[in-house]
Amino acid sequence: MSFPNVRLRRLRKSGKIRELLEEVRLSPKDLICPIFVQEDLKSKIQGSSMPGMERLSLGDVVSEVNSIADLKIPAVMVFGIPSHKDEHGTSAFIQNGIVQKTIAEIRKNLGNDIVIMSDVCLCQYTSSGHCGLVRGDKIDNDSSLETLAKVAVSQAQAGVDVVSPSAMMDGQVKAIRQGLDDAGFTDVAIMSHSAKHRSSLYSPFKDMAHSAPQFGDRKTYQLPYTNPKEAMREVETDIQEGVDIVMIKPALAYLDLISMTKSKFNVPIAAYSVSGEYALVKAAAMAGYIDEKEVTLEILTAIKRAGADMIVTYFSKGAAKTLAER
């Protein structure tokens, strides 16, 4: 029996044929754009560790979010940089905190034209720089839960759509869900940083958000990158506690975990392409070694191909512009 010659190149011979056969299609609708808003800042300033990213003043927020919405990006994630830090993380949950004012300003001016997400953590707000409250010589898990729930409720009161706990405290989803429900915010969703790994790729973010720990490290509460089974247990625990969306973080070096999560669980999956991934691409592009636009789309498509339903990325605006051009 004879067979015709198989030539898969026939399916690649023109741009339109290649477009017709695309198996994974990246869209601006897949993206979530982070924004950094700094309290008492007069006007926006460039972040030296993350070229192209800015720390915004409150007065810059509406213009910036409008530009994001105009690119058909459906969501922003708000990170706050307060002017005051203390051992209790007070600035994270006060009514006139920088994140709370930012959420209210976006909601007032854009209504429901964009999804507002917000980080729920304490590292930017505590004098220790840790994601939970310090008691003695350790990060105290249980006392941190009450504070994280207060942060989430304060953000819900300001008008947030989705709270995104990133502290990696055991039980944080359950505590936040209970706090939101008790306060009447049953419609506010939780997107947990379920499998957040202890990674050196966060370093530019720590500089940008002024959130580096002042002592020790985060190994006792963030996941080791050596333990994929443990990562799946973290994801499963968040699902059991009532999470709405799980997240794998970082993204690019953890594509296997995104794929494993997609295979094991029927739940929406976010992936966070973190600051170090962004900075590495930016550095290589600035040195002339790579085409930033091409590499950005390749990376984000790979993350989606692995199983992510949505991607938090500092490349959001640039990627959306490139996709619009094409």
DSSP H or E stretch at residue 271: strand 269-273
CATH number of 26-325: 3.20.20.70
- Cα–Cα distance for residue pair 83/81, rounded to 1 Å: 7
Domains of the chain, by residue range, sit at 26-325
- Inform me whether the pLDDT recorded for 4 exceeds 90: no
- Inform me whether the pLDDT recorded for 217 exceeds 90: no
Binding site for Zn(2+): which residues? 121, 123, 131
Average confidence score pLDDT of the chain? 95
Query: Within 10 Å of residue 111's Cβ, how many Cβ atoms?
Result: 9
What's the pLDDT score for residue 308?
98
- Inform me whether the pLDDT recorded for 137 exceeds 90: no
Place of tokens 């993204």: 251
- Say if CB 192 and CB 164 are below 8 A apart: yes
Tell me if the pTM is above 0.85. yes
**CA proximity to 232, closest of 272, 277, 273, 269:** 269
DSSP H or E stretch at residue 101: helix 98-110
- Cα–Cα distance for residue pair 49/323, rounded to 1 Å: 26
For the stretch 168-177, what's the b/e string if a residue is b when 16 or more beta carbons lie within 10 angstroms of its beta carbon? bbbbbbbbbb
Binding site: which residues? 121, 123, 131, 234
- Cα–Cα distance for residue pair 134/87, rounded to 1 Å: 7
Per-residue pLDDT band at 214 (split at 50, 70, 90): confident
Q: pLDDT tens digits, residue range 90-118?
A: 999 999 999 999 999 999 999 999 999 99
- Say if CB 76 and CB 231 are below 8 A apart: no
CA dihedral 94, 98, 102, 104 (to 10 degrees): 20
Strands 54-56 and 45-46: antiparallel
- Inform me whether the pLDDT recorded for 1 exceeds 70: no
Q: pLDDT tens digits, residue range 160-187?
A: 999 999 999 999 999 999 999 999 999 9
Task: Point out the residues that are catalytic.
Answer: 196, 249
Q: pLDDT tens digits, residue range 236-273?
A: 999 999 999 999 999 999 999 999 999 999 999 999 99
- Say if CB 156 and CB 165 are below 8 A apart: no
**Would you say the C-alpha torsion 255, 256, 262, 268 has a positive or negative sign?**
negative
Binding site for Mg(2+): which residues? 234
Structure tokens at 58: 């409150």
